[in-house]
Structure 1
């Protein structure tokens, strides 16, 4: 649905070699793909690196959003009628296009989200991996499946998968490309249409992937994008969707789940986290410290699965803190559209205020700042130094609350059981990390942690990049999973079909029920020993 509000993008100059916005014509072409009208005022979005305008985005109204769902519903029927293999080929072509045009995506993600370029590449690689994975495996996962029937030979049974219909996807600002791909692509290859509401701040990144998907052969209207505040168009998304996928805060997720439940439709939610890392006494301190830099400060800590708590065995704690601090202080902050910076900026003034408040409160309640702990307006309006704290007490807000920024607290422990208990002592359960030289021991400790993903000798990337395994939260960190078979099958309805031949599942005429039930009981006992049951 084409916007009736004129799109506008600016290229006001450069700071340190960084453009304030993507090329004006390119941004305008992307924005023109969005639904919107004169009844809803457009909004200006700013680049975190510079504070300059990236684009002026049309905002959809409730009526606009419902009209988009109607278009998507019409498109879905034709899309679902195509063979799964044909839908999968669209993902294969998209995989190639993403890798071929990755420089454009890297610029967009950096400009919109403020990431370092290497962190932006994580999004490109995740997008390509998701497209390739579901392009390869969707035909097998969605194929009709035979199942043992109630009576061998006489009962032919199976399972058929049908698309939900139109999937509503509400995407966050922090990983605009990767999370769009992880949620949208499996929904599409399953035969659904999608209406996505990305965050305004990073809408161009989602629109870029949307454009490439249509170039790869996705029918027009099968994937629609609307922009607007949840308070204005959220009701329409909840009421029109056959399935809702949401990534965001735990309070918003809980509210959304309650509203969706009244319609008896399904949903998946990836919510907040306070992710722990446990460094076992046998760990390689240098490798653990290097891993912690990435685990804590990639994307300036604005990653749902990034580490915010580190528990280090007392025997190596001081050595670890020294090594971790030295590596953190060597991390170069910067805003260049190249690979020269190790960490970029925060994305919004709200995040900068939240991070600053958490660190100031921790100081006031007795914590020690080992390194970092201050904003860096000399580098750009939203930069904040990567920060390591020790001595954080339960009185500090960041002890239990998610900070969602480049801030981590380090604690000591003497017994592994104590470290596991403290790591699990949180309402959240999204991601965790274990470091050890003993892989088997690492696996055993990982299995004791109440988190949807656990990485051994990695912070988050091992599970994040392994698209074949599910990813999601326990406890208050969410419901449902993305990636793996679950990340695809959640967008389908399972239908059981059984064909009965010959003997009915009731006594035949003339056979006493008591005799029939004895025969069936003997048969069920025998079936227990048959292979494949």
Structure 2
């Protein structure tokens, strides 16, 4: 392990152990008072705590108070009370708070990124994406609030006499269950449009990365949002999940497909909506006319960003026969040149896996593939010399259907290479399996690549880019097809999911019923004549 902390005022680090609870050999530790300020934002009265350790060195970072079911119930009581008042706050005032959050996040980037790296173990270059994504999200929804939420006129049944308007009414309290892999972004990005739409939020972040989520809650307070509007609870999903779903008017979940199914069933029982971003086995296609240097650089980012612990990262790489050998040479060289390390500075291309469980999964997938005949072109080894959960960026060739990593999501720095001769066959193979989250296509013919994209069964497709083009384009919806989930974040879809459309129709002069002694039969004939006339006039 190399590098040393360089704390500045307002940042969470101290050099060496922050208190006797910390391992005295730890390279990094958190200031105890800083942790206390964050954890007081939790609604947690159970008396129990959970230890958070850093993947960088395995040393304890904090002891986080845990919430009980009663705390979750109380969180919804507070949130519902706050939401009733919040829904009456003018839209422009809500937008102004999002713009203040935008500035706060950018001003506090160093603090945010330090905490993300310490909790998740990811490289700083990947952690820095998170505050940028939240700033983008806050600014986008603040600037487009009226486009999405203003009352809209619609066509009435009788032109000129029926006035129809559609209001966007907040659902109430939104429950969010956020993952560890992007702990700051995923704890906040889905909740910001929910707040703008007039809802309150109760969020349960993953236990590994509670502090990043709590820092986000603190920044919301500083931006002017009422504290009770955004409640944070902490505890195991199986313990708190049912209470969270039971109190919500809508649930937003990011995580595994298996857990997503459970949440979907619970929501169905209550007849409430949910949006689910789940697993993926994402393909990348390198066509015969691709710029190979650009494709190799993109494939490294697609496969190994955040050590592959990214829902939209690439795990299957399909390369045209005509360019296969030349592409593989470039891809392997770039992968072998990557730097790994457990530091808070900018020198590393890849950081650590988040936990022993993730490392065990990656090791099992690679060992199974090799035992069944796959070839390791790069990487393939754990690196305990760097940190407890490090694994080298790994490229496999010759992966076949009986191998675990062929169809199961690895969620680590492992990618499998496959040749193809026919592009239609490549698309068919990319569509194999039940997932459909993200895909990438590399070609110098953008129009042809976009045409191919329409046949790829994924919710997002990037052309000549790994995943960032769709992920950072906040005006476009993002989400999965098939077992990769339902619903969308970002864009109009990302905010309208938190509203109920309410139609209000005002009828003028003529009622929609027989008048002046007209019989029901005559009224039906008049209406039939009107329908035929409206069609001739080209009316909807």
TM-score (norm 2): 0.94
CA distance in 1, matches of 2:90, 2:181: 34
2:149–2:197 Cα contact (<8 Å) kept = yes
Counterpart of 1:507 in 2: which secondary structure? coil
CA distance in 2, matches of 1:409, 1:233: 37
The correspondence for 2:353, drawn from 346, 350, 353, is: 346
Q: What is the aligned partner in structure 2 of residue 488 from structure 1?
A: 495
1:469–1:483 Cα contact (<8 Å) kept = yes
CA distance in 2, matches of 1:207, 1:214: 11
Report the Cα offset of residue 336 of structure 1: 1.5
The correspondence for 2:220, drawn from 210, 213, 219, is: 213
Change (3 A) 1:339 1:309: same
Change (3 A) 1:513 1:466: same
User: Is 1:321 the counterpart of 2:328 in the alignment?
Assistant: yes
Counterpart of 1:169 in 2: which secondary structure? strand
Report the Cα offset of residue 520 of structure 1: 2.1
Q: What is the aligned partner in structure 1 of residue 9 from structure 2?
A: none
Counterpart of 2:190 in 1: which secondary structure? helix
CA distance in 1, matches of 2:447, 2:387: 45
Q: What is the aligned partner in structure 1 of residue 257 from structure 2?
A: 250
Report the Cα offset of residue 13 of structure 1: 5.9
Q: What is the aligned partner in structure 2 of residue 225 from structure 1?
A: 232
Report the Cα offset of residue 278 of structure 1: 0.7
Moved more, 391-400 or 40-49: 40-49
The correspondence for 1:24, drawn from 32, 57, 79, is: 32
CA distance in 2, matches of 1:343, 1:32: 33
CA distance in 1, matches of 2:450, 2:249: 38
User: C-alpha deviations, 1:205-261, integer Å up to 9, x for none?
Assistant: 111111011101000210010000112111210111111111111011101111111
Report the Cα offset of residue 8 of structure 1: 8.3
User: C-alpha deviations, 1:371-401, integer Å up to 9, x for none?
Assistant: 0000000011111000000000111000000
User: C-alpha deviations, 1:251-277, integer Å up to 9, x for none?
Assistant: 111011111111111111111000001
CA distance in 1, matches of 2:20, 2:336: 36
CA distance in 1, matches of 2:101, 2:168: 24
Change (3 A) 1:330 1:531: farther
User: C-alpha deviations, 1:124-183, integer Å up to 9, x for none?
Assistant: 111110000111112321111111111011100010111111111000000111112221
Report the Cα offset of residue 403 of structure 1: 0.2
Q: What is the aligned partner in structure 2 of residue 139 from structure 1?
A: 146
Q: What is the aligned partner in structure 1 of residue 482 from structure 2?
A: 475
2:41–2:217 Cα contact (<8 Å) kept = no
Report the Cα offset of residue 528 of structure 1: 3.6
Q: What is the aligned partner in structure 1 of residue 10 from structure 2?
A: none
Counterpart of 2:36 in 1: which secondary structure? helix
Change (3 A) 1:516 1:216: same
The correspondence for 2:102, drawn from 95, 100, 103, is: 95
The aligned length equals 523
The correspondence for 2:442, drawn from 423, 431, 435, is: 435
Report the Cα offset of residue 532 of structure 1: 7.6
2:257–2:485 Cα contact (<8 Å) kept = yes
Report the Cα offset of residue 64 of structure 1: 1.2
The correspondence for 2:202, drawn from 165, 175, 195, is: 195
1:11–1:24 Cα contact (<8 Å) kept = no
Counterpart of 2:96 in 1: which secondary structure? helix
1:106–1:120 Cα contact (<8 Å) kept = yes
CA distance in 2, matches of 1:75, 1:143: 22
TM-score (norm 1): 0.96
User: 1:38-437 alignment to 2 at 5 Å?
Assistant: 39=46, 41-437=48-444
Change (3 A) 1:506 1:414: same
CA distance in 1, matches of 2:174, 2:135: 22
Report the Cα offset of residue 406 of structure 1: 0.3
Moved more, 134-143 or 191-200: 134-143
1:154–1:503 Cα contact (<8 Å) kept = yes
Report the Cα offset of residue 424 of structure 1: 0.4
Report the Cα offset of residue 526 of structure 1: 3.3
CA distance in 2, matches of 1:326, 1:460: 21
User: Is 1:446 the counterpart of 2:461 in the alignment?
Assistant: no
CA distance in 2, matches of 1:345, 1:522: 72
Structure 1 runs not aligned, ≥5 long: 1-6
2:55–2:353 Cα contact (<8 Å) kept = yes
Q: What is the aligned partner in structure 1 of residue 43 from structure 2?
A: 35
Counterpart of 2:62 in 1: which secondary structure? strand
Moved more, 403-412 or 116-125: 116-125
Q: What is the aligned partner in structure 2 of residue 3 from structure 1?
A: none
Moved more, 28-37 or 273-282: 28-37
Moved more, 523-532 or 505-514: 523-532
CA distance in 2, matches of 1:8, 1:59: 21
CA distance in 2, matches of 1:10, 1:162: 49
Report the Cα offset of residue 402 of structure 1: 0.2
